[in-house]
């Protein structure tokens, strides 16, 4: 049908919806891990392209069938790896509409409905996190892009304050920008420093305590050596311990130096939405920019994150593709003025749907529940002989190790292999405080106490199996 859908195309859409529903229904009962390896998966899909096309229905059926046993059930309640959200069904439903609508969300003029929803998401998230209501924000792919954008904004503002227009003149000949980060910083802001031309090796790494938190006195000593206003990157949620840097002690001192504080808050910043947990981030709202994921604790479908800046002007100067000048600012933002993309899907729409569905109460319950469940895992496993919990549970992260020293590292690796091979739960690996660890990240929207029971049982059983094999 010219300008509409053919019968084959319409059937393909219906079939895809039915396949999606069937898959999500089955996720809790599936082994979490894929049942095939990469070589087999590549062989299935990497075939010569046919000269003639095939019917749309056949494409969808073949795609779903060939992918089925090569998927990790990341959307299920038993996935605990990499701090990944589980794609809330309401967000998935909205994401289907996003693809059907086919809107390029880079222009408010062409896509006013999308911009309206994304503006609402920015307003709601900023308010939920207790950040300044008039902050500027942009919806990006995730915290890696948000950290990159926030660091570029900081670079712009710090150099502009010294009379250097980096958007026009570049970095050649620009004043130096001292960069201070904690020694346990995540790789994402380090990558952002590279992308912004500030380098990964010239930064000053400040010592941290056993939880990965910057030591205030040591930080102040490093700050006092800065001859120019610095860029300081702090953390809300260390990847292994979930800990928070001492924002209230550090940020005012940086501002006294004329510096900029950027906070990598990919998942930990969401604790600010929970009144009984918010004090763990005391002072975080004093910062100048923040990076936060929407596809982590909000459980939006991939990919979605936000860069938030107290002052919108340098955000627009850094991100706008209109040129290296400040465009006229109105109450109606141009999406491309706050992100590094001119062409992008309407990735804020699923977050809009999830926030409308959950409300403030639902967001608070989600975050609080996961933090409670993490504490429960640490308490239960910490009581098992030979098991050590390496972190205080600050939020949703639990770092677990087994045995002692190098032998214990091999045992920890063996425990993780057994757990992942059994496929009933799926934590992932890491390294922390000189030890190999199993890292449990509790962040899926559907994870409840019954799933934590299974997790504890699976880890305990695997540890017993490793010990038994060594006798």
Confidence of residue 332 (pLDDT cuts 50, 70, 90): low
Residue 288 CB contacts under 8 Å (≥ 6 apart), including other chains: 154, 157, 260, 261, 262, 309, 310, 311
Distance from C-alpha of 147 to C-alpha of 293, rounded to nearest angstrom? 10
pLDDT in tens, 292-307: 999 999 999 999 999 9
Q: Identify which of 240, 239, 236 has the alpha carbon closest to the alpha carbon of residue 280.
A: 236
The mean pLDDT value for 333-342 works out to 84
Longest dimension (CA), the chain: 73
pLDDT value for 319: 87
The model's confidence at residue 108, banded by pLDDT at 50, 70 and 90, is confident
Return the CA Rg of the chain: 24
pTM of the model: 0.94
The pLDDT assigned to 110 comes to 86
Q: pLDDT tens, 241-291?
A: 999 999 999 999 999 999 999 999 999 999 999 999 999 999 999 999 999
Q: What is the pLDDT of residue 447?
A: 98
pLDDT confidence tier of residue 323, bands split at 50, 70 and 90: very low
Per-residue pLDDT tens over the stretch 398-430: 999 999 999 999 999 999 999 999 999 999 999
Tell me the pLDDT of the chain averaged across its residues: 94
Q: For position 134, what pLDDT does the model report?
A: 93
pLDDT > 90? residue 342: no
The model's confidence at residue 106, banded by pLDDT at 50, 70 and 90, is: confident
């Amino acid at each position: 049908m010219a300008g509409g859908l053919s019968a084959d195309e319409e059937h393909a859409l219906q079939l895809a919806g039915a396949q999606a529903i069937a898959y999500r229904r089955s996720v809790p009962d599936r082994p979490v891990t894929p049942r095939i390896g990469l070589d087999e998966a590549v062989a299935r899909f990497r075939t010569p392209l046919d000269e003639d096309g095939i019917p749309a229905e056949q494409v969808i059926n073949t795609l779903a069938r060939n992918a089925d046993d090569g998927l990790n059930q990341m959307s299920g309640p038993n996935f605990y790896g990499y701090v990944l959200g589980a794609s809330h069904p309401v967000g998935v439903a909205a994401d289907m509409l996003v693809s059907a609508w086919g809107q390029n969300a880079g222009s408010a003029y062409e896509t006013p409905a999308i911009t309206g929803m994304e503006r609402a998401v920015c307003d709601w998230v900023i308010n939920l996190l207790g950040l300044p209501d008039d902050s500027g924000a942009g919806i990006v792919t995730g915290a890696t892009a948000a950290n990159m954008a926030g660091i570029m904004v900081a670079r712009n503002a710090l150099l502009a304050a010294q009379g250097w227009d980096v958007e026009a003149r570049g970095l050649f000949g620009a004043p130096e920008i001292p960069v201070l980060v904690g020694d346990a910083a995540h790789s994402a802001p380090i990558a952002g420093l590279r992308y912004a031309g500030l380098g990964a090796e010239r930064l000053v790494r400040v010592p941290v305590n056993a939880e990965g938190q910057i030591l205030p006195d040591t930080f102040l000593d490093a700050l006092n050596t800065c001859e120019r206003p610095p860029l300081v990157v702090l953390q809300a949620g260390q990847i292994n311990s979930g800990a928070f840097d001492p924002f209230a002690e550090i940020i005012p001192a940086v501002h006294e130096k004329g510096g900029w504080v950027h906070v990598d808050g990919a998942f930990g910043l969401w604790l600010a939405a929970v009144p009984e947990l918010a004090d763990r981030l005391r002072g975080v709202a004093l910062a100048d920019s923040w990076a936060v994921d929407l596809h982590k604790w909000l459980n939006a479908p991939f990919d979605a994150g936000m860069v938030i800046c107290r002052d919108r002007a340098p955000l627009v100067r850094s991100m706008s593709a209109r040129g290296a000048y400040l465009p006229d600012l109105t109450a109606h933002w141009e999406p491309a003025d706050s992100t590094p993309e001119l062409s992008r899907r309407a990735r804020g729409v699923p977050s809009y749907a999830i926030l409308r569905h959950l409300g403030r109460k639902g967001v608070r319950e989600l975050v609080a529940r996961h933090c409670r469940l993490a504490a429960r895992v640490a308490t239960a496993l910490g009581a098992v002989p030979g098991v050590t919990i390496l972190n205080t549970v600050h939020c949703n992260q639990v770092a677990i190790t087994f045995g002692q020293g190098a032998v214990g590292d091999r045992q920890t690796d063996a425990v993780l292999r057994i757990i992942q091979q059994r496929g009933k739960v799926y934590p992932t690996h890491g390294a922390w405080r000189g030890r190999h660890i199993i890292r449990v990240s509790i962040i899926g929207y559907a994870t409840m106490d019954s799933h934590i029971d299974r997790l504890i049982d699976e880890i305990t059983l695997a540890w017993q199996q490793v010990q038994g094999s060594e006798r």
